[in-house]
Chain A
Amino acid sequence: MLTVANTTKWLQLFTDQVNTNQDALNQYDTPIGDGDHGSNLARGTTAMMDSLNKADLKSVSDVWKTAAMAIISKVGGAAGPLYGTAFLEMAKASKDRPADDIAVQPLIDASLKGLLKRGGAVPGDKTMVDVWTDVDADLEKGPLTSDQVKTAVESTKPMEAKKGRASYLGKDSVGHLDPGSVSSGFFFESLIQEGEIQ
């Protein structure tokens, strides 16, 4: 179950992973994008932690809403509206739940629906939607594992991009991992690392 403390910790772990792997994320984004996914997301997640550390967080919904607003205002690329929408949907989905009964799966499910609407991508388009779709389904069956996350991220490699900047490359996008899927992998690895949530 999610609490203010473990949700904030989850986002701190995500921020740490994004910052540590900032250059790697930029490199994943270079052959099939504009090479700034790591820098953009590092700036956004760092601002997000600043906001979270300063805010008076009374509920899990407050955590997600604060996180969303920081990401939306600080990330200029596609990651801003996409992660921002995902987090806003989690804020909405957790808002009316009893404080001691907020499970992660319904939140991810709500986020995925938001992502599908915001970006217009569908599964198989080689976007973060592919990872979120697989993780959503995996979470329905039980606690998420690292192997499941890895498999979801790797599944984007053979795909031909149909949405986002990589889609301009058509078939040349095949063989590369999708950067948004890699960062989504960090997000879900952080969930697993936190340990207490699922």
Chain B
Amino acid sequence: MSYGILVVSHVKEIADGVLKLIAQVAADVPITTAGGTDDDGIGTSVAKITSAVEHNEGDEILAFYDLGSAKMNLDMVMELSDKKIHLYNVALVEGAYTAAALLQAGQDLPTIEKQLQPLKIK
């Protein structure tokens, strides 16, 4: 079982920035992003999230998001997608970074989830 990371933000540059940061510690972890609306405005897009899930090479996805409505769109994609998506209500940057670093180090999902627990903020 391989895992990939999905970063969802209301702003394209935030998603790109988180990717830049976490890719540094996770060269071999599949990471895809969905930032902003379809026309790169502020918000999230079901189409972009779906595409980021499909294009992620991980068999299962660990998803991180910034604000409430990103979660609602993620929930919708989870209901429609064939891929298993694990959604974490944790701080976006710290959560994605922690998961990326631990995946790169070959840690299993229960260990990663234990480390994510204290980062839960929503």
Known contacts A73-B38, A85-B76, A118-B75; is-contact A80 B69 (Cβ 8 Å): yes
Interface residues in A48-107 (C-beta closer than 8 Å to B): 72-78, 80-82, 84-85
- Answer whether residue A40 sits at the interface, using C-beta atoms and an 8 A cutoff: yes
Secondary structure dominating the interface of A: helix
For residue B39, which residue of chain A has the nearest CB?
A: A76
Q: How large is the interface on B (under 10, 10 to 19, 20 to 34, 35 or more residues)?
A: 10 to 19
Contact A40 B46 (CB under 8 A): no
Residues of A within 8 A of B47 (CB): 73
Known contacts A40-B43, A72-B46, A73-B38; is-contact A78 B68 (Cβ 8 Å): yes
Of the residues B38, B43, B72, contact of A119 by C-beta under 8 Å: B72
Taken residue by residue from 114 to 137, chain A's Cβ proximity to chain B (1 for < 8 Å, 0 otherwise) reads as: 000011000000000000000000
- Answer whether residue A36 sits at the interface, using C-beta atoms and an 8 A cutoff: yes
Contact B73 A80 (CB under 8 A): yes
Secondary structure dominating the interface of B: loop
Residues of B within 8 A of A40 (CB): 43
Question: How many Å lie between the Cα of A76 and that of B76 in the bound state?
Answer: 13
- The tally of residues in A whose CB lies under 8 Å from a CB in B reads 20
- Answer whether residue B41 sits at the interface, using C-beta atoms and an 8 A cutoff: yes
Residues of A within 8 A of B38 (CB): 73-74, 76
Question: How many Å lie between the Cα of A165 and that of B66 in the bound state?
Answer: 12
Known contacts A36-B42, A40-B43, A165-B67; is-contact A76 B37 (Cβ 8 Å): yes
B interface vs A, CB < 8 Å? Answer: 10, 36-38, 41-47, 67-69, 72-73, 75-76
> Which 3 A/B pairs are nearest by Cβ-Cβ distance?
A76-B43, A76-B37, A81-B72
